[in-house]
């Protein structure tokens, strides 16, 4: 993508071009676009593309003419003369992506893109929540354990209707993320609506340095292992998981917990899935042409004993991919409640000025071909947590057995699996 910039060189006004000069600049932009399309037409002709494709480009060209007319009107007639050209360009890009009606295709300004790369390294400054768009509402997928968001009582499913007084209706996901994050020690006010509440509640949260630990673990009674995967976002998540899994090698069974895990990097899901699946598909992708690609296990199996996996409505993205892989390959029994339903593939394309576009290029299917995007994965054994217990959820990364109904059920199922192995 080439960056288009209107240069102001008027001698009559150092800050604003004259109407004639501005229109001349718009005309140059129009000619530049049209010239590029002429070259495009020639390439279509040379390589034998159909007249239909050329006609489609002509239709797009006519629609771009309308956009340039609006740009002309804004530059010359809008009441505020000193407009920020960069802001206009970025706003146009956001509008273009918003028209896709896909909350995960989004634009990031250079600062936001830089912060995203830092966050993938395992730390950033913010309040510590995963957010997404569900039913066109900005929604908390899950707060991260030990962070300001968790300590202030934010919960999965909370709707964020305002950020520092700014309405989030139709707000792009990346804009919301950018508004919530900020320098350590500063404050952000979120206006929250929760199921059962009759009105909004403002929650003020001080930002802090967020260091995400990918994995937590402990040994349970009956020689069972428990591993909680907090995130797939860190570049080191798979290595952290492998280290803990090796430490648990002498236990008889494993409970793998991805409740509250908002997802992250696809490669982490593939690498972790490969520690359980010797041969088979981890996930399928389907692109815009309907072409399917199967991403298979690397075969680095480290665990062959019984597994039960805990999921809930805050398990999203890579968590759902791993859950689908272990279920369809008959490795794990899924226990808990229905997952979030975020299963689309985003490609990050860095642009010339350091900004970036995250564009959805495909969707995920489970190994057996189930489309889970916007649908989620249902557990094989459903255990719903009563409201009272959910409201008193312990603030620990590793839950206590006597306070966790889903964990209790997972232990029961795992013990039954082990008894069958012994008897059978």
Q: Among residues 317, 319, 355, 404, which one is catalytic?
A: 317
Tell me the backbone φ, ψ of residue 277, rounded to 5 degrees: -105, 110
Q: How many helices (H) and strands (E) does the chain have?
A: 11, 19
Q: Which two tokens stand for residue 244?
A: 């803990």
Query: Is 317 among the residues known to form the active site?
Result: yes
Angle between helices 173-180 and 110-120 (to 10 degrees): 70
> Do residues 85 and 175 touch, judged by C-beta distance below 8 A?
no
Residue, of 64 and 162, whose pLDDT is higher: 162
Q: Measure the CA angle with vertex 101, ends 233 and 234; round to 5°.
A: 5
pLDDT at 152 over 90: yes
Cβ–Cβ under 8 Å, residues 284 and 294 = yes
Q: In what order do the strands lie in the sheet with 253-257?
A: 215-220, 224-229, 253-257, 307-311, 332-336, 381-382
Give residue-wise pLDDT tens across range 23-53: 666 666 655 555 555 444 444 444 444 555 5
Query: Does residue 297 carry a catalytic annotation?
Result: no
The active-site residue, picked from 75, 162, 342, 409, is 342
> Is-catalytic flag, 353?
no
Q: What does pLDDT average to over the chain?
A: 84
Q: What is the reported pTM? A: 0.68
At residue 145, the pLDDT reads 75
Per-residue model confidence as pLDDT tens digits over 171-218: 877 788 888 988 899 999 999 999 889 899 999 999 998 877 889 999
- Residue 16: band (very low, low, confident or very high) from pLDDT cuts 50, 70, 90: very low
* Of residues 59 and 362, more confidently modeled: 362
Our CA dihedral for 63, 64, 69, 73, rounded to 10 degrees, sits at 120
Q: What is the pLDDT of residues 332-369, one digit of tens each?
A: 999 999 999 988 888 889 999 999 999 999 899 999 99
> Residue 337: what pLDDT?
94
Q: Which of 72, 271, 328, 404 is catalytic?
A: 328
């Amino acid at each position: 993508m080439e960056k288009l910039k209107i240069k102001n060189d008027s001698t009559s006004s150092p800050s604003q071009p004259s109407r004639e000069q501005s229109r001349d600049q718009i005309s140059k932009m129009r000619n530049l676009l049209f010239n590029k399309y002429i070259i495009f037409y020639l390439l279509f002709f040379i390589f034998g593309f159909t007249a239909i494709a050329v006609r489609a480009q002509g239709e797009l060209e006519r629609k771009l003419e309308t956009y340039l007319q609006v740009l002309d009107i804004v530059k010359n007639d809008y009441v505020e003369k000193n407009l920020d050209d960069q802001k206009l360009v970025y706003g146009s890009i956001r509008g273009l992506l918003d028209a896709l009606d896909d909350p995960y295709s989004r634009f990031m300004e250079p600062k936001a893109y830089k912060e995203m790369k830092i966050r993938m390294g395992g730390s950033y400054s913010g309040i510590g929540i995963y957010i997404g768009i569900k039913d066109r509402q900005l929604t908390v997928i899950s707060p991260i354990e030990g962070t300001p968001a968790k300590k202030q009582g934010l919960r999965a499913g909370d709707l964020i209707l305002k950020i520092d007084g700014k309405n989030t209706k139709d707000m792009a996901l990346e804009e919301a993320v950018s508004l919530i994050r900020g320098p350590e020690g500063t404050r952000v006010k979120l206006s929250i609506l929760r199921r059962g509440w009759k009105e909004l509640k403002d929650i003020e949260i001080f930002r802090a340095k967020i260091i995400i630990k990918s994995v937590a673990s402990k040994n349970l009674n009956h020689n069972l292992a428990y591993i909680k995967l907090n995130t797939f976002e860190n570049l080191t998540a798979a290595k952290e998981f492998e280290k803990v899994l090796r430490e648990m090698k002498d236990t008889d069974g494993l409970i793998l917990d991805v409740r509250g895990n908002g997802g992250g990097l696809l490669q982490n899901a593939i690498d972790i899935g490969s520690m359980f699946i010797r041969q088979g598909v981890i996930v399928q992708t389907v692109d815009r042409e309907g072409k399917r690609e199967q991403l298979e296990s690397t075969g680095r199996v480290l665990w062959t004993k019984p597994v039960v996996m805990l999921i809930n409505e805050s398990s999203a993205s890579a968590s759902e991919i791993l859950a689908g892989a272990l279920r369809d390959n008959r490795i794990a029994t899924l226990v808990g409640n229905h997952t979030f339903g975020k299963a689309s593939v985003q490609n990050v394309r860095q642009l010339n000025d350091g900004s970036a576009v995250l564009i959805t290029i495909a969707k995920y299917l489970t190994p057996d071909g189930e489309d889970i995007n916007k649908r989620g994965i249902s557990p094989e054994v459903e255990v719903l947590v009563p409201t009272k217990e959910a409201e008193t959820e312990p603030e620990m990364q590793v839950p206590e057995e006597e306070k966790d109904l889903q964990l209790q059920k997972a232990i029961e199922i795992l013990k039954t699996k082990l008894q069958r192995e012994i008897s059978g």
